[in-house]
Structure 1
């Protein structure tokens, strides 16, 4: 069983956590290299520098890219939201409440990868893409900071297609410096969200097109994180 280094759960821990996310949420290629590094197995169960066992809000927002909106329009697809998700039509911003998760941050100087591990959960919210009589739902998102991937549940006309489907890539090379909002929450903004190859293939097959491409830019993400007290 892993031994956890206990830290005070507060802004100091959140700052270290999200700073780690910023460093680790790089492009898919670099994440893959970290996962497959031979040195990853040499350091068995190291002690994390910081551990936040429970996240408690607030949300992940995605401001949609104009190119993505144009792609949806060309395919006659209409976006919508489900559950607790919201869509601000004026700004083109989607918001998904953070419902839980946990993150461990390890010393990046050690040969242990990925050095940020855990997940950020967004249960009970999602988006829909409607084309004619077909409605595709993407929901219950989970962000894995160690692999820079977002997975979730996919449905078609209400029928479950799959769970833990790889939906979006998260490219953190465009991140802004760590910030803090008026409530003391850690804010990480600037990650580029891209359609995964799995999602592109699924959407193309479902809607009978080849216009949805791998690595199509969806938008820019803003994660506002709060540690549970």
Structure 2
């Protein structure tokens, strides 16, 4: 492919991985929601119970049945891949469309609470089995696939393979920043859209890529792109 197409594809490949559930993540920050607060000794379970009572559930999909997670690639990320001289590719059912890497959703569940009523206000698990992306140099090929998005922890995990050998299982590949997440959008066709989460390279992924490709160009926190997740609500 030409230089321009290759550059876009490369960025898309990695960014898309995060795209998936990434868009469904909520703000990492948290607030007490009460002037009295709770003591430092209060148990996590008790705190979670209190939050659950305060949270106002807006929408819930107990069994996700399809649609996709996508990441619109940031130019800074695609430039970094070009500098590394890596050849990207899709794995399994993943696709690249209009500068976004798209991964089909294969299962999971999602709860969306009224923002501010509970933290995190997007909770659940979003699975993307059988898809991913690859990055190749002259003698090395890395595949990242089978992504799992956990909005509650703002993490995106995946399996990592180097030259066909499993290097890590469900490692944290991307950190998700939901502080820019837009309100839930529902559509007449029975779908719902969560868009706006920033997808950043995790410390684990940066270390892995730098070690594998013998570079120091990949920095933790590098913005990969903006995520958009579309789910069926029926």
TM over 0.5: yes
Classify the TM-score, shorter chain.
Answer: 0.7 to 0.9
Structure 1 residues 102, 162: closer, same or farther in 2, change over 3 A? Answer: same
**Paired residue secondary structure (2:156):** strand
**Could you tell me whether the CA contact under 8 Å between 2:112 and 2:123 is conserved in 1?**
yes
Structural RMSD (CA): 2.7
**Paired residue secondary structure (1:125):** strand
1:137 positional shift: 0.6
1:181 positional shift: 3.7
**Could you tell me whether the CA contact under 8 Å between 1:185 and 1:224 is conserved in 2?**
yes
Give the alignment of 1:45-60 within 5 angstroms. 49=57, 51-60=60-69
Report the Cα distance in structure 1 between the residues aligned to 2:121 and 2:176, rounded to whole angstroms. 16
Alignment partner of 1:97 out of 76, 101, 104: 104
Report the Cα distance in structure 1 between the residues aligned to 2:96 and 2:113, rounded to whole angstroms. 35
Structure 1 residues 106, 62: closer, same or farther in 2, change over 3 A? Answer: closer
- Aligned counterpart, 1:192: 198
Give the alignment of 1:92-171 within 5 angstroms. 92-104=99-111, 114=120, 116-171=122-177
**Paired residue secondary structure (1:42):** helix
**Could you tell me whether the CA contact under 8 Å between 2:27 and 2:120 is conserved in 1?**
no
- Aligned counterpart, 1:226: 232
- Aligned counterpart, 1:5: none
Q: Which runs of 5+ in 1 are unaligned?
A: 1-20
Structure 1 residues 63, 109: closer, same or farther in 2, change over 3 A? Answer: closer
**Could you tell me whether the CA contact under 8 Å between 1:40 and 1:113 is conserved in 2?**
no
Alignment partner of 1:82 out of 85, 91, 104: 91
Structure 1 residues 131, 122: closer, same or farther in 2, change over 3 A? Answer: same
Report the Cα distance in structure 2 between the residues aligned to 1:173 and 1:125, rounded to whole angstroms. 27
Q: Which runs of 5+ in 2 are unaligned?
A: 1-22, 33-39
Structure 1 residues 146, 155: closer, same or farther in 2, change over 3 A? Answer: same
- Higher relative contact order (Cα pairs below 8 Å, separated by 6+ residues): 2
Report the Cα distance in structure 1 between the residues aligned to 2:225 and 2:115, rounded to whole angstroms. 29
- Aligned counterpart, 2:8: none
- Aligned counterpart, 2:223: 217
Report the Cα distance in structure 1 between the residues aligned to 2:95 and 2:143, rounded to whole angstroms. 14
TM-score normalised per structure 1: 0.76
1:118 positional shift: 2.1
**Paired residue secondary structure (2:212):** helix
